[in-house]
Amino acid sequence: MEVDLDPELMQKFSCLGTTDKDVLISEFQRLLGFQLNPAGCAFFLDMTNWNLQAAIGAYYDFESPNISVPSMSFVKDVTIGEGESIPPDTQFIKTWRIQNSGAEAWPPGVCLNMSGETSLDM
């Protein structure tokens, strides 16, 4: 989750120069719209050595959804075996068998696609 922070909010961070933990907790709560109780605010502030800006960042990092990307593993080369050679300028179709090695199903339409003109020489 990307959060665009208001420039005014960032200005408030730079102006806030206190080490009073109660003030930092109150300010943290206020900046989050009172979404978190004082103990939760203290946790994030303590975790970031009482740096308010870092604590806000840590909170948003923690609250952001975990995005999993598709995972795969190679099973076998179906069409052309390892070490087989193909004469230059020969058109061919290359097929690999792969499997989902991740914990979640792939989204509809996911495919393996070679892009660019990179040589397949290893």
> How many residues make up the chain in this entry?
122
**Residues near 71 by beta carbon (within 8 Å), at least 6 away in sequence:** 100, 101, 102
Per DSSP, the three-state class of 58 is helix
- At 16 the three-state DSSP class reads coil
Report residue 31: phi and psi, to 5°: -65, -30
pLDDT tens digits, the chain, 122 residues: what are they? 556 667 676 656 655 555 688 999 999 999 988 888 999 999 999 999 899 989 999 998 887 777 777 788 888 888 877 778 888 888 888 888 889 898 888 888 877 777 766 665 54
Phi-psi domain of 6 (left: phi exceeds 0; alpha: psi -120 through 50; beta: other): beta
Q: Where are the domains of the chain?
A: 16-63
Q: Are 70 and 100 in contact (CB under 8 A)?
A: yes
Nearest to 61 by CA among 44, 46, 37, 42: 44
